[in-house]
Amino acid sequence: MSSSRLRTRKPTPEAVESADAAERRARKGARSSRVSVESRYRSWLSHHGAMARDSARRLLVTPIASLLTMLAIAIALTLPAALWLALDSARLLDNELNDSAQLTLYLDTSVSEGRALDLADRLRDEQGIGGVRLITAAEGMEEFAQALDLKRSLSLLDNNPLPASIMITPVDTTPESVHQLATRLESEPGVESARLDLAWLERLRQLGELGQKVTLGLAVLFGLGVLLVVGNTIRLSVESRRQEIEVVTLIGATHAFVRRPFLYSGAWYGLGGGLLACGILALGGSWLAAPVTGLVQSYGGNYVLPSLGLSGGAALLFSSTILGWVGAWFAVGRHLASISPR
């Protein structure tokens, strides 16, 4: 029999459905389809809720196995997060160092104290200069003598061999602009030379950049690790629920419906792993706090070990949850592809 004959003689399900619906409309008012959109939406929401609860319950049924998976995720997350924290604190340190980036102008020994004062006053009004401090030749000698405890031997000298100097604090502390400022000021009359030691600042900056890239690379690698851990765990749980998946697929479940409980499991694993990672970081921080503070104080510094804080913690939890979700998505997707009709 041809399809057209079948179609003309036999009503399609849609036709039956609409006739059915028309009949129902006639009976009890407007109700257009068999399952209304509103009812579908509400039951979709309630299915989400049910699956979130059900997958959490399933994790709690095997607490040790679930905890181990979460621990694996937590360890994979802790390393890049700790590196990021260390880098962040290094950046703070870097800023502090930048603030102390100073430029020293050594004046000609022939320049009189009055002219030196004039120059200092003029520089104070110039753009790009935050602070100016004049150290006269006499003051320089005083400091030098005090620092080296050479008062007596220096007093033997007939005249002061030290030049006056001007300490400049630049406004913009990036290496390039400090460099530019130095060359500009060197050409000022009366200035013998401008000295600044940028090499180590630059090295520190490059080290920071390297650290940033290493952290990013590790974060990507360990993120993939989390995907694999979750993916593998979910794959096992898909295997153990194979029959259920096949049955619901046979009676008309969409891929989204089949995926949903596993996505929630993955998200719970990720969230649990993220929480554990936060815990590990907090523990590690308090463990290291005493020695780090002691070390920094011995250098006369004042430095507090960084912690994730609220936003950092939220970011960590969010990304771990997303990683868990995505890992589960891939694991179920592979299985769904294998049971599609061929």
Partner 1 sequence: MIAFEHVGKRYGGRFDALAGLDFTVERGEMAFLTGHSGAGKSSLLKLIMLLERPSRGRILVAGHDIGRLHVSQVPYYRRQIGVVFQDHQLLSDRNIFHNVALPLMIQGVTPREQARRVRAALDKVGLLHREKALPVELSGGEQQRVGIARAVVNKPALLLADEPTGNLDPALSADIMRLFEDFNRIGTTVMIASHDLALIAGLHHRTLELADGRLIADKDAR
- E strand or H helix that includes residue 291: helix 255-298
Of 159 and 243, the one with the shorter C-beta distance to partner 1 is: 243
Nearest approach in angstroms of CB 340 to partner 1 is: 6
Of 35 and 199, the one with the shorter C-beta distance to partner 1 is: 35
Q: In what order do the strands lie in the sheet with 103-107?
A: 129-135, 165-170, 103-107, 191-195
Nearest approach in angstroms of CB 63 to partner 1 is: 19
**Do β-strands 165-170 and 191-195 pair in parallel, antiparallel, or remain unpaired?**
unpaired
Nearest approach in angstroms of CB 177 to partner 1 is: 59
Of 19 and 290, the one with the shorter C-beta distance to partner 1 is: 19
Nearest approach in angstroms of CB 21 to partner 1 is: 13
Nearest approach in angstroms of CB 257 to partner 1 is: 6
d(CA 336, CA 158): 94
Of 300 and 341, the one with the shorter C-beta distance to partner 1 is: 341
Residue 107: Cβ-neighbour burial (10 angstroms; 0-12, 13-18, 19+): buried
d(CA 135, CA 141): 10
Of 239 and 244, the one with the shorter C-beta distance to partner 1 is: 244
Task: Count CB-CB contacts under 10 A for residue 276.
Answer: 20
Can you give the C-alpha Rg of the chain in angstroms?
36
Where does this chain bind partner 1 (CB under 8 A)?
1, 3, 6-7, 10-13, 16, 35, 39-44, 46-47, 243-244, 246-255, 257, 340-342
- CA distance readout (Å), 156 to 16, 112, 132, 147, 160: 118, 22, 31, 17, 10
Of 289 and 339, the one with the shorter C-beta distance to partner 1 is: 339
Nearest approach in angstroms of CB 41 to partner 1 is: 8
First to last CA, the chain: 26
d(CA 276, CA 75): 8
Of 63 and 341, the one with the shorter C-beta distance to partner 1 is: 341
Sign of the Cα torsion 8, 14, 17, 22 reads: negative
DSSP string, 188-211: STTEEEEE---HHHHHHHHHHHHH
Nearest approach in angstroms of CB 55 to partner 1 is: 14
Nearest approach in angstroms of CB 78 to partner 1 is: 36
Of 46 and 112, the one with the shorter C-beta distance to partner 1 is: 46
d(CA 115, CA 131): 18
Q: Which residue, 305, 304, 81, 90, is CA-closest to 208? A: 90
